[in-house]
Structure 1
C-alpha cells in the first residue's frame, strides 16, 4: 500500500485504486496546487477533459520547458551534461524537434510491422509458460512471466543483448524509484546512457537487422550518437517496464474479478476490449512527464499563469464519471472508449501497438495453460514509490 505521509497525492494508491483524496480533488476542484515528490510546487490536473486538453496541446503546455527546472537536492549537472542526457529523449522535446525524432521511429511501430513480430511473441510466451510448468507451483508471476517476456521482446526488437537484462532492469528500478536519493537516480541515468552509447558504437560498426541497426543504416547521418543512445534508452526502459507491470497487475485484476475472467474465457474475442479496460482501470503511469504552461491558461475555472508546472493524473482522469459511467467498476464489456493510459497528443505512446499485442497474446495463453491459476496465501506485493505502478512480487499456484 502507498504511504500518504510521504508520497505525493497523484501517486497514492490503495491496491488497485487511486487515493480517495485524489478522487475528491477531481470531483470538487479539478485543479489543485500540490508539492511534488521532487520538492517543487505544481498544479495537479485531475479531470478527463482537462488532462486531454493539456496532453493534446503542445503549444500551450510544453514538455521541453520543464527541462530547465532545478529540483531541490538534485546534484548540479553541467549544461553539456544535461544536453547529453536529454539528447534523443522524445519526452523532453516539443515540436518541431520532437516531430523530427518521432518521424524516424514511427514506421517501426506500425501494426503491419508489429504483426511480423507476432509469431516470435507467441514463441516467447510459450517458452516461459513451459518453464513455469516444468518448475511447477508455486511461482512468482513477476519474475517467471510478467517481467521476462516484455524484456525479451524489446531486447530482440532493439538489438540489446538479453544477457544484459539484469543490469538494465537494476538501473531502471533505481532510476524510476523516487524513494532513492537524487544522486543514486542520477548515477543510474548516467550508467544507462553509457551502456547505450557503447552499444550504439558497436551497432554503427556493424548494424544488424534490429531496430537500432535500422536507425543506424537509415538515419545514422541525421542522428548523433547521443541521440541514438537517448532514443534506444527510452524505448528499452518504456518497452519492458510498462508492459511487464500491466501483465502482473492485469493478471491479479482478472483473478480478483472472476466474473470478468469467466466472461473472457467463454468469449475469447473480448481480449482486445479486456486489454483496453485493464489499461483504463489500472492506469499504471501515474502522470507521465510534467508540463509547463507557455501562456496563461484556464482549467476547470482556475486561471494558471505562464511558466507554471502541471502534473496530469491519469488514474483520476480515466476514472472520471464525466468520461465514463460507473468508472470504479472493472468491466471488460466497455471496449475502448478513449482512455488516456497511453497518453494523448503528440506524445501518445509510440509503443502502444506492441504493448497491446503482447497483452493480447500473453493473457489468454497464461489462463489457457493454467486454468486453475490462483493466488497463494502469500499476498502480492504492490510497489508504491515507483514512477510506474506495479507489483514487486506475485506468488501464484495452479
Structure 2
C-alpha cells in the first residue's frame, strides 16, 4: 500500500499556504547524508528548456515507462518542467536524486503548496489534505499520526497474518477452480484478496467492499472532476465515521477498535485515518497482483523460474514492485532554496518525482528494463522512501508473497484468454494496473 503516490485532487476547504522562506540553500547540519552527498556546485548553464511530463508509453509495451523519461534521465536527473498551471518547476528522474528528496525535510508533501503535474487537472491551488491523510502532511502533524500507527504494521505483526492470508487465497482459488475459465482475474482474485484482508484488519464489513472500491476508483481517476473525487472521499469518510462511533460505544478487536481505545484521537481523525488506510489497502495491492500476473504471463521464462524455485517468492515481489512501479509519480515542494545534483531548486518550486524512471535507472539497477526475479531489487522506490514510506508495505508484501506463487501453483496452465494488446490498461488512474485480466487454463 504505497503511501507515495500522485496527490489526488481534493474537494475540501481551501487555505492560504504558509509563508515560504528562502535560505542560502546550504544543507543544514541534520540533513541526511545522502542529500548532502548529491549536492554540488550549481551549473546554471546546463539547465535545459522546460519540458512537460512525459506520459506516452512505448507502443505494445504495457510494463515500460515512457521512453522520454529515460532520455531525460540520461541528460540529467533533474529537468526543468512546465506544469499545466504555468508553474515552472522540476522533473526528477534519477534514483539517487529522488531518494534524496524523499529523505529531505526541506521538501514538503503538503497538497496546498504543490502544483498538479497532469494535464486536465486543477490549475489553481490544491486544497489541503483531509484529516488523517498522512500523504499530504509534514512533520510534526505527520509524525503524530504515524507514531500511533507504526506499531500496528510491524513486520512481526504482518507476518502473523500470513496464515489468514493463505486461507483467503485458498478460498478464492477454490472458487476460481469451481467456476472454471475463462474469468476476469481482477474481479475473481486480485481485488477480493487484499480487500478482505484490509477490511478484516480495520474492522470494516467486507460486504460493503463494492461501495469502497467504486469510490476509491473515482478518487484515483485522473479524468474525474474535483467534485466527483470530493464526493467519493466524503462518502467513504462518512461511512467510516459511522463505524468509529459504533466502535467507541462497543469496542471491537480490530485496528479501528484498538485506536478508539488506545488513543485520544477524535472521531473525525479516526474516520480520516480509516478512510486513508482503506483506500490504500483496497487499490494498490489489487493492482500489483493483477499487473504482476499479467507481467509474468507475458514472460514465460520468469514464470517458469518462479514455479520451479519457490524461494524466489520474496525477491519476485521486490522485483515486480521495481519493474512495474504502479504508483508512477509523486511530488514535493521546496520549502527553501536547495542545491541538488548541480541544480538550484528554489523555495516554492514543485518537483515531480518519476518513480518509474528511478526504478529503471541503470546507475542503480543493471539492465533495468529486464524483469529478473533473481535480481536483488532492494532499494527500489515502489514503496517510497523517507518519512512517507508506505505504512502498509509489510502487509502488501505478505499478500503478494502468498497470492502470486499460489495462483500459478494451482493453475500451472494459466494463460491470457485474450491477446495481450486487448487487456484494458488503467492509463486513466494515478495507480497503474489493468481494468480486467481475462485468463483461462486447461481443466484437469
User: Shared fold (TM-score greater than 0.5)?
Assistant: yes
Structure 2: 5+ residue stretches without partners = 1-51
Aligned residue pairs total 382
**Partners of 1:321 and 1:327 within 8 A in 2:** yes
Query: Shift of residue 176 of structure 1?
Result: 0.6
Question: Equivalent residue for 1:177?
Answer: 221
Aligned-residue offset at 1:77: 11
CA displacement 1:163-216 (0-9 Å, x = unmatched)? 111111111111111111222112212222222222211221112101000111
| Structure 2: distance between partners of 1:10 and 1:154 | 34
SS in 2 for 1:160: coil
Counterpart in 2 of 1:125? 169
Shift of 1:300: 3.0
CA distance change for structure 1 residues 188 and 354 in 2, over 3 Å: closer, same or farther? same
SS at 1:311 equivalent? strand
- Higher Rg of the two aligned structures: 2
Contact in 1 for aligned 2:417/2:438 (Cα 8 Å): yes
Are residues 206 and 12 of structure 1, via their aligned partners in 2, closer, same or farther at CA, if it must alter by over 3 Å? Answer: farther
8 Å contact kept, 1:75–1:182: no
SS state at 2:187 partner? helix
Q: 1:98 aligns with which of 142, 145, 155?
A: 142
Provide the aligned C-alpha RMSD in A. Answer: 2.1
Assess, with a 3 A threshold, how the Cα gap between structure 1 residues 37 and 113 changes in structure 2: closer, same or farther. Answer: farther
- Paired residue for 1:233? 275
TM-score, normalised to structure 2, is 0.82
1:203 aligns to 2:247 (yes or no): yes
Counterpart position of 1:4: none
Q: Deviations over 1:299-318 (max 9, x none)?
A: 33221110111111000001
Flag the 1:73–1:346 CA change in 2: closer, same or farther, 3 A: closer
Kindly tell me: are residues 40 and 286 of structure 1, through their superposed partners in 2, closer, same or farther at Cα, counting changes over 3 Å? farther
Over 3 Å counting, the alpha-carbon distance change for 1:138 and 1:235 in structure 2 is same
Residue 67 in 1 paired to residue 112 in 2?
Answer: yes
Q: Would you say the 8 A contact 1:12–1:384 is kept in 2?
A: no
Query: SS state of the match for residue 425, structure 2?
Result: strand
Indicate the SS of the match to 1:156.
helix
Q: 1:333 aligns with which of 341, 355, 374?
A: 374
Query: Which one of the candidate residues 401, 404, 409 is aligned to 1:363?
Result: 404
User: Which residue pairs with 2:387 in the alignment?
Assistant: 346
**Counterpart in 1 of 2:196?**
152
Matches within 5 A, 1:71-82: 74=122
Larger displacement relative to structure 2 (104-113 or 208-217): 104-113
- Correspondent of 2:322 among 241, 264, 280: 280
Within 1, Cα distance between the matches of 2:284 and 2:75?
Answer: 31
Aligned residues of 1:255 and 1:261 also touching (Cα < 8 A): yes
The structure richer in helix per residue is 1
Deviations 1:104-126 (A, max 9, x none): 11111112211221111111111
Deviation at 1:351, TM superposition (A): 0.5
Partner of 1:168: 212
Secondary structure in structure 1 of the residue aligned to 2:236: helix
Q: What secondary structure does 2:91 align onto?
A: strand
Q: Is the 8 A contact 2:115 2:350 kept in 1?
A: no
**Secondary structure, in 3 states, of the residue corresponding to 2:406?**
helix
Contact 1:74–1:183 under 8 Å retained in 2:
no
By how many angstroms is 1:39 displaced?
7.1
| Structure 1: 4+ residue segments shifted above 4 A | 35-41, 68-78
After TM superposition, the score normalised by the length of structure 1 is 0.91
Identify the residue that residue 297 of structure 1 maps to in structure 2. 338
Q: CA 1:172–1:39 in structure 2 vs 1: closer, same or farther (change >3 Å)?
A: farther
CA shift for structure 1 position 325: 0.7
Aligned to 1:382: 425
Q: Give the direction of change, closer, same or farther, for the CA distance of 1:188–1:40 in structure 2 (3 Å limit).
A: farther
In structure 2, the partner of 1:19 is 66
Residue aligning to 1:397: 440
Distance (whole Å) between structure 2 residues aligned to residue 98 and residue 311 of structure 1: 21
Judged with a 3 Å threshold, the aligned counterparts in structure 2 of structure 1 residues 42 and 191 are, in CA distance, closer, same or farther, namely farther
SS at match of 1:292: strand
In structure 1, stretches of 5+ residues that fail to align are 1-7
Closer/same/farther in 2, CA of residues 47 and 73 from structure 1, 3 Å limit:
closer
SS of 1:22 mapped into structure 2: helix
